[in-house]
Structure 1
Amino acid sequence: MSPLLPLPELNQTFSDIPSSLHWLLSRQNTTPNHFQTSTVIVASVYFIIVLIAWNLPILRDVIAGLKLFTVAIHELCHLTIGLLCGGQVWSICIDPNDGGATTISGLMRTTPRVPNNPYALPTMAQLYWSASAVATLSAGYVGSSIVGWLFIVSGLDIVASKIAALVIHIGMLVPILRADSWVAFGSIIICEAVLIGLWFGDHGSALRYYVLFLGVMNLFYSVWDYIDEALYDKRNSSDCSQFSHLLGWPRAGWAIFWFIYEALVFTSAMFAGIIVFRRSDEDMYAEASHFLPT
């Protein structure tokens, strides 16, 4: 039987292993360059900016378009997992100020659980909760964090930011069909105009700040969701309240749990972007000047 590879080619394959290992080990350097350091600082400051803009009366209307995009992604994650778990979607609501709400039936148990503590007096939801219901509810925050993670990692490279900006541009056109007020409609138009305008400055390098902003907005969705409910008593309750209703444990406890999770995801996004995009500023600008140049 002849070998799978000729002997010279086999030897060449093994000889390439040390160089491949050296390349992999070289990527483990997590010391950021100047470009990456400024990006990490901006992304961290964005958390405070979004926290203020999301809740301040006038600013929350200015960024209504970005909020619609963020809420739509969150509800789409609920919708997707709910359908995969065999549920039936009855309604879906996407609102920049009242938040989102997706009503899915067929996920709860048909027979009640036996409570561990008969004196605890569990609610009906806690007696009938199922793994499918928990997975569908968790999908909102987890899905938003994944999308935010991808946007934040993309924000550490100009070409990757351009690709992410194309996704955002198309995604922003979807909620414009559902905008039921001039405020939301006008905000979407402004956000789209800013996104297009950033393509024509310095080979689109400023797009990364836009992508980072949306990345932080999506990743920390549980924070805005919880504070929105606490400050404005919005019509659609937060997922933290839904977790409390379904599984017990105070609403604030679930908010802390999801914030810790999202902070860890944010940290991993920073390290991933620093490790993956280990290029000099000159290399990134050169690549950006050849990828969809403006």
Structure 2
Amino acid sequence: MPPDILSPSVMPTTLNFSHSLTFHILIPRADSHPNTFQTNTVIAACVMFIAIIIAWNLPILRDFIAALKLFTVGVHELSHLTVGLLCGGQVVSICIDPNDGGATHVMGLMRTTPRIPRNPYVMPTFAQSFWSPSAVATLAAGYTGSSIVGFLLVFCAFDIVASKICALVIHFGLLVPVLRADHWIAYASIIVCEGILIGLWFGDHGNALRFYVLFLGVMNLFYVVWDYVDERLFDKRNTSDCAQFSELLGWPTSSWAIVWFVYDSLVFTSAIFAGIMVFRRSDDQMYSEASHFLPTR
């Protein structure tokens, strides 16, 4: 038999070894279950979703979390700004407000010639006639950017050390609105939120920081909910992105809210599974790592 031809008795053995090696790697991950530490994190995230809906809209509580709202709205508008510049647009103005929402105006993204309507019996609006892929990408970047930041924060909330790293980023992110804040409520909220963030760092090796990071992660990830509800309840000055999608591409505003909510729910589920699968540590291991990373005592 020539040396370059494998006998039938050799081929099945090689394939079986390859398959068994693959299944050996995948099966332990598939059989892994969340521990108590991770289960409590998932439950807390679901409770925080309800808490944010209430706190975002109630008069007193919405002022108390104004700093976190500024952070969330700022991330959202920064995503619009970044993609708009990458698409060749020119930023005219940007507004970040904890109650009126955000608004980023970018010029140079719409078509210069109108589109030919597919249905001659239905007259499209001005925006629907001149929309372009660049305009749609810039508009979609807001919810997409918020979901990415929310994914990372929720994912890191499954580990104490990762939460400490996120807390450092959040610390500087909360200080940025100070440059543009023009009301004492915003300043007071920033001071309170910064004080809570620093205080949680010194307790139990920073274990409670996970819930601070998780809270802000859920707030960023489901920004479409607060954006849409805010518009419906308070008729805010800056319209939601769902309304912008409706104006640009058609469909009712509520339909776009459902589409983006389903997308955010999938991202949220992915963040939970990623956190459970990656941070496979016991409580003692996590506490030991946290006590050696920027220790406070």
Instruction: Answer yes or no: same fold by TM over 0.5.
Output: yes
Q: 1:133 aligns with which of 116, 132, 135?
A: 135
1:123 aligns with 2:129: no
In structure 1, runs of 5+ residues without a counterpart are 1-14
Structure 2: distance between partners of 1:54 and 1:289: 34
RMSD over equivalenced CA pairs, Å? 1.5
Q: Does the CA-based 8 Å contact 1:68-1:96 persist in structure 2? A: yes
Structure 2: distance between partners of 1:20 and 1:279: 23
Q: Following superposition of structure 1 onto structure 2, how do residues 197-276 of structure 1 map, counting pairs within 5 Å? A: 197-276=199-278
Displacement after TM superposition at 1:27 (Å): 3.3
Task: Describe the superposition over 1:251-278 as per-residue Cα deviations: whole angstroms up to 9, x where unpaired.
Answer: 0000011111101110111000000000
Q: Does the CA-based 8 Å contact 1:27-1:278 persist in structure 2? A: no
Displacement after TM superposition at 1:23 (Å): 5.2
SS in 2 for 1:103: strand
Determine the structure 2 residue equivalent to 1:6.
none
Determine the structure 1 residue equivalent to 2:93.
91
TM-score when normalising by structure 2: 0.91
Task: Describe the superposition over 1:188-240 as per-residue Cα deviations: whole angstroms up to 9, x where unpaired.
Answer: 11000000000000000100000000000000000000000000000000000
Displacement after TM superposition at 1:95 (Å): 0.2
SS in 2 for 1:108: coil
Structure 2: distance between partners of 1:52 and 1:242: 25
1:290 aligns with 2:292: yes
1:74 aligns with 2:76: yes
Displacement after TM superposition at 1:121 (Å): 1.2
Identity level (%): 72
Q: Following superposition of structure 1 onto structure 2, how do residues 186-201 of structure 1 map, counting pairs within 5 Å? A: 186-201=188-203
Q: Does the CA-based 8 Å contact 1:27-1:276 persist in structure 2? A: no
SS in 2 for 1:58: helix
Displacement after TM superposition at 1:176 (Å): 1.4
Which stretches of structure 1, 4 residues or longer, exceed 4 Å deviation after superposition?
18-25
Give the AA of the match of 1:269. A
TM-score when normalising by structure 1: 0.92
Task: Describe the superposition over 1:149-192 as per-residue Cα deviations: whole angstroms up to 9, x where unpaired.
Answer: 00000000000000011110011110111111000110011000
Structure 2: distance between partners of 1:282 and 1:249: 52
Aligned residues: 279
Displacement after TM superposition at 1:119 (Å): 1.5
In structure 2, runs of 5+ residues without a counterpart are 1-16
Structure 1: distance between partners of 2:97 and 2:27: 46
